[in-house]
Amino acid sequence: MSPASGLGEGVDQAPAIGAAIRPFAAAAHDALADQQLRSNLRNATTTIREKRARVVAELPDWQQLREAGRAIKADVLAHLDDYLLQFEQAASAAGGHVHWAQGAAEANSLVLAVARAHSVTELVKVKSLTTDEIGLNAALAAGGVQALETDLAELILQLDGDWSSHILVPAIHRNRSEIRDLFRRTIADRDVSDDPRELAEASRRYLRRKFLNARMAVSGANFAVAETGTVCVVESEGNGRMCTTLPPVLVTILGIEKLVPTFADLEVFLQLLPRSSTAERMNPYTSLWTGITPGDGPQEFHVILLDAGRTRVLSDEVGRVALHCIRCSACSNVCPVYTRTGGHAYGSTNPGPIGAILTPQLLGIEHASSLPFASSLCGACYEVCPVKIDIPSVLVHLRAKAVQADAKEGERLMMSSAAWVFGGRRRFRLATWLGRLSQRPFVRGTTIRRLPGPLAGWTRTRDLPRLAPQTFRAWWRHRE
């Protein structure tokens, strides 16, 4: 059986950069109707939320760590050009090859060129949101190179031609029996039950052969240190260690915002990230490597510094805090919207509250104008964010941009006339009188169940309270 053949086709269904995504409300509508999805999501997010709260409460200096994390990220962005040059210098001095890529196409072709230079037709990959974002697997497949995902969840999705719905647990929308059926169809060399232990074992057997013989690997990175040229990958399963250690050639794709200034800065993020993401005191494996180590690990190392919209985000002084994100996914797990719709409704590599502010900025607001509205602005995301990203404020900021960009004439006219009416006492009084009069045919009891014409959208899923028969002012006058 060679289940790997055919992988890479139809795998990257997340929209490519440049394409507009499906409006959130429409996508969410479908997701909400899926009972299985909603119960998977509820179980998973509730579990991890509780665990996270427990391990965060263990640290007496959590707030100080958050503030330090925020300040370090702000410093990185404020001097990004200097830190990039410093990283380039340090990584090159350590034996790494540093490349720069403006966008997806350039990064993908750099990876393909390395593969071709070594006549590689199959490579192993560590889970990386950045490579999802640039559609690397599809680009490699088009160039005749199969990229094999090695993270358990990513493998599940790749085998099924599906795409990620959660930053940390990409297959959160799949339950164990769905996964068992998939494995039986694809990689299992003997029968498996739906016990997660057996399923993990099946993936271990399948991937071990691949790891031991792979000649090239591609990874993303969680952090990279400008001072020393060190790259850091944080993981649990050991597939990250396998990929960054065993194959003789390693290519790391690094979003330019992933830098930290000094090695010591890692002490902050290595405390913030595991507790916020997997709700562990420390994740099982963290790998840190600095260029090439003779006799240990890959002997050829490339790192690609990727822009792909990041400088666009950087140019917005309010919105740039989205680049502080360390991809922990804590915001998704607490979000009242995400926990019901799941990640696919966001239509992008980065779902959840952080995706709602990052995606429209990376792609351009005109390509994802519905995402800033996929929130109740409750602020739970801000509270759990380990680097204190004020997501609600950025959402509001982007909503204003979306409205300006979208230019819905009807809505704008309505809003500006409402502003005019509400701006004068006599006009307002006249309007409420007219409103009371015109609502009469629609009121049932104290509510309006159904509005006519274009207003029907409002009452399709909710009742509207009627305008009170008497205004507060009238009532007050009457009392006096």
Partner 1 sequence: MSSSRELILARVREALAGGSPAAAPARDYRQRGTLARPARIDLLCERLGDYRAAVRRVGTAGLARAIAQEFAARDAVRVCLPAGIPTAWRPDGLELVEDSELSNAALDACDGVLTGCTLAIAETGTLVLTGAPSEGRRALTLIPDLHVCVVGEEQVVELVPEAMAQLGDRVRSERAPITLISGPSATSDIELSRVEGVHGPRTLVVLVVKRPPPASGPEARGA
Q: Looking at residues 139 to 178 of the shown chain, list those that interact with partner 1 (rule: CB under 8 A).
A: 150-153, 156, 169-172, 174-176
Out of 19, 53, 264, 456, point to the residue binding partner 1 (CB under 8 A).
264
Q: Name the amino acid, one letter, at 211.
A: F
Q: Does 361 bind partner 1 (CB under 8 A)?
A: no
Cβ proximity to partner 1: between 314 and 448 the closer is: 314
Q: Does 390 bind partner 1 (CB under 8 A)?
A: no
Dist CA 323 CA 448 (whole Å): 44
User: Which residues from 173-232 bind partner 1, rule CB under 8 A?
Assistant: 174-176, 179, 196-197, 199-201, 203-204, 207-208, 211-213, 228, 230
Stretch that binds partner 1, among 44-52, 324-332, 370-378, 463-471 (CB under 8 A): 44-52
User: Which residues from 105-124 bind partner 1, rule CB under 8 A?
Assistant: 106
Dist CA 400 CA 406 (whole Å): 10
Region of 404 please: left (phi>0), alpha (psi -120 to 50) or beta: alpha
69-75's contacts with Cβ under 8 Å and 24+ in sequence apart are: 69/268, 69/269, 69/272, 69/324, 69/326, 69/386, 69/387, 69/388, 70/324, 70/387, 70/388, 70/389, 72/260, 72/261, 72/265, 72/268, 72/269, 73/323, 73/324, 73/387, 74/321, 74/324, 75/261
Cβ 91 to partner 1 shortest distance, Å: 10
Cβ 347 to partner 1 shortest distance, Å: 22
Q: Does 431 bind partner 1 (CB under 8 A)?
A: no
Give the helix/strand (H/E) hosting 164. none
Stretch that binds partner 1, among 215-223, 270-278, 339-347, 432-440 (CB under 8 A): 270-278
Dist CA 363 CA 280 (whole Å): 33
Q: Does 72 bind partner 1 (CB under 8 A)?
A: yes
Q: Does 397 bind partner 1 (CB under 8 A)?
A: no
Q: Does 362 bind partner 1 (CB under 8 A)?
A: no
Q: Does 276 bind partner 1 (CB under 8 A)?
A: no
Cβ proximity to partner 1: between 173 and 344 the closer is: 173
Out of 52, 125, 241, 399, point to the residue binding partner 1 (CB under 8 A).
241
Cβ proximity to partner 1: between 164 and 370 the closer is: 164
CB-based burial of residue 120 (10 Å sphere; 0-12 exposed, 13-18 middle, 19+ buried)?
Answer: buried
Cβ proximity to partner 1: between 199 and 334 the closer is: 199
Cβ proximity to partner 1: between 72 and 145 the closer is: 72
Residue 143: φ, ψ to 5°: -95, 10
What number of chain residues touch partner 1 (CB under 8 A)?
97
Longest Cα separation, the chain: 92
Dist CA 66 CA 275 (whole Å): 12
Q: Does 271 bind partner 1 (CB under 8 A)?
A: yes
> How far, in Å, are 110, 170, 211, 233, 255 from residue 100 at the CA level?
9, 28, 28, 20, 10
Cβ 416 to partner 1 shortest distance, Å: 32
Out of 143, 297, 364, 379, point to the residue binding partner 1 (CB under 8 A).
297
Cβ 249 to partner 1 shortest distance, Å: 15
- CA 43: distance to chain centroid? 20
